[in-house]
Every structure is written in structure tokens, then in C-alpha cells.
């Protein structure tokens, strides 16, 4: 697809864009080399309609990129430890995004091993959003990148995953809107993470 066509796909409502992003390829080219992952798991966050979203209370300097346009990269630090990467989706102003939870390494496996360590089991190399970012070398330095502009961090949508292979369920570790089935994954992929509920989970908005 051309970049404009890919952006149109990502500009759909976040739950529709989620299925289109499964199977897509995300590449990061750094001085150490290039790594490409095929996205196997993600979670949807819907801005002001979603109390689990960082953008629930409106834009801040950190979350401004989530308000559009689609196809940009939202990066944040989780618990002060791990970087997490999100693809901005939806129409301008709606602040929706898809958290990249897991992927399968397609290129750059040796570099992923250097970044993740020689003793990490294969299925855990990119299983979880922090591990995925570490494998790709994604940090705050690339926050806000247009993933469709052909730069060092780029996204390529692929042929749609067959609906029969797509599974949905509750998001992992969120305490608000915890029961919404907004986690999407490709069935049978070993890189997909295990479900873990937050001990502070509650459905009601604050």
C-alpha cells in the first residue's frame, strides 16, 4: 500500500484499525543495524471514551501526539522502567492509539539477541511491550515519528490476517475499564503474552 492508503486505514476508529495492524511489519534502523518485527499482539486505547487511556483527561505535552494525525508513534515510559510504543489511530482529535504488545522477529535476530541477552527464551524476546521496544531499540528519541514517512522507524501494513485467526480479550494489567475486550492477538503465535489482570481493576470511570 502507498503511505496515504496506509494512513487512511489507520485513521479508522481504533477498534477497526486494530485488526488491520495485526501482521504489519515495524522496522527500526539504527547505527547498530535494522530490526523488523511482525506485530502479533496489541491493545486499543480510545482517548476520552476510555478511562484507561493516557489521553482520557485531554491533551498534555506528553500525549499531544495521540490527538493525530494517524500513523505517528506515541512512546512513553512505563513505571519508570520500560519504554512502550503505540501507533496513533483514528481521525484527528480523537486521541486513540494501539499499544504494541508483542511481535515476531523477521529480520535482525542477532541484534535482538544482543539487546535482549543470550539466555532469554526465544518466545520471550519480544513478548510484552517493554521487551518489544528493547528489541527494536525504541526510546523517547523517536517519539512522534511519522511511521509512514519512510524514515528510520517505519510501519508497513500487510495483507489482512484471516478473521478466524484473530482473538480478543481483556487488556493486560489495566485497572480501569478492565473488562473491555480490547486486546487483539493472532491465534497460535508463541510471542503473544499471557493474560494478567491488574489487582486494582475496576470498570467504573473515575
Tell me if 191 is assigned to some domain.
Answer: no
* Cis previous bond, 131, omega within 30: no
User: What is the CATH number for 70?
Assistant: 3.10.300.10
pLDDT at 196 > cutoff 90: no
Tell me if 31 is assigned to some domain.
Answer: yes
**pLDDT, tens digit (0-9, with 9 covering 90-100), for 133-152:** 999 999 999 999 999 999 99
Structural contact between residues 93 and 33, judged by C-beta atoms closer than 8 angstroms: no
Tell me if 196 is assigned to some domain.
Answer: no
Compute the distance between CA of residue 104 and CA of residue 79 in angstroms, rounded to an integer. 25
Q: Which residue segment(s) compose the domain that 173 sits in? A: 3-186
Residue with cell 523488523: 36
Q: What is the pTM of this model?
A: 0.90
**pLDDT, tens digit (0-9, with 9 covering 90-100), for 91-109:** 888 889 999 999 999 999 9
Structurally, the chain folds into a number of domains equal to 1
Q: Label residue 199 by pLDDT band (50, 70, 90).
A: low
Tell me if 193 is assigned to some domain.
Answer: no
Amino acid at each position: 500500500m502507498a503511505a496515504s492508503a496506509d494512513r487512511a486505514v489507520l485513521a479508522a476508529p481504533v477498534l477497526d484499525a486494530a485488526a488491520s495492524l495485526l501482521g504489519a511489519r515495524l522496522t527500526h534502523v539504527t547505527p547498530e543495524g535494522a530490526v523488523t518485527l511482525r506485530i502479533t499482539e496489541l491493545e486499543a486505547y480510545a482517548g476520552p471514551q476510555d478511562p484507561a487511556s493516557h489521553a482520557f483527561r485531554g491533551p498534555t505535552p506528553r500525549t499531544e501526539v495521540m490527538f493525530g494525525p494517524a500513523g505517528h508513534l506515541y512512546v512513553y515510559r512505563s513505571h519508570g522502567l520500560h519504554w512502550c510504543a503505540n501507533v496513533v489511530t483514528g481521525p484527528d482529535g480523537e486521541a486513540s492509539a494501539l499499544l504494541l504488545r508483542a511481535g515476531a522477529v523477521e529480520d535482525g535476530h542477532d541484534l535482538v539477541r544482543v539487546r535482549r541477552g543470550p539466555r532469554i527464551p526465544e518466545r520471550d524476546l519480544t513478548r510484552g511491550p517493554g521487551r518489544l521496544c528493547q528489541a527494536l531499540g525504541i526510546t523517547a528519541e523517536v517519539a512522534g515519528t511519522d511511521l509512514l514517512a519512510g524514515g528510520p522507524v517505519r510501519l508497513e501494513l500487510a495483507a489482512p490476517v484471516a478473521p478466524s485467526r484473530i482473538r480478543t480479550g481483556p487488556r493486560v494489567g489495566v485497572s480501569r475499564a478492565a473488562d473491555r475486550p480490547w486486546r487483539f492477538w493472532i491465534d497460535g503465535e508463541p510471542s503473544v503474552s499471557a493474560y494478567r489482570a491488574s489487582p486494582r481493576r475496576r470498570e467504573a470511570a473515575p
